[in-house]
Amino acid sequence: MIKLKPYSLSELADIYEVCVRTIKRWLLPHQHRIGERQGRYYTVKQVKIIFEQLGMPQDYML
């Protein structure tokens, strides 16, 4: 099960089962809604927006 918590770009790529380059390309059109990462991680709020924009990962859990 996937929890709603801060994730790095590589962790998000693993969740969606794609490479980092692909997840970056997927996030690019939504960057204005997501905002900048806080250091290495996206915040919980940003992760929620990412899941809403890209669709829920298969094993998503709140």
Q: What is the pLDDT of residue 61?
A: 52
With contact defined as beta carbons under 8 Å apart, do 42 and 31 qualify? no
Q: What is the pLDDT of residue 62?
A: 46
**pTM, to two decimals:** 0.85
- CA distances for 45 relative to 8, 19, 54, 56, angstroms: 13, 23, 14, 14
What is the DSSP code (8-state) at residue 52? H
Q: What is the pLDDT of residue 8?
A: 96
- Percent share of the chain, pLDDT over 70: 92
The single residue listed with the structure tokens 């390309």 is 25
What is the spatial distance between Cα 36 and Cα 7, in angstroms, rounded to a whole number? 13
Q: Domain residues of the chain, as ranges?
A: 7-54
With contact defined as beta carbons under 8 Å apart, do 26 and 54 qualify? yes
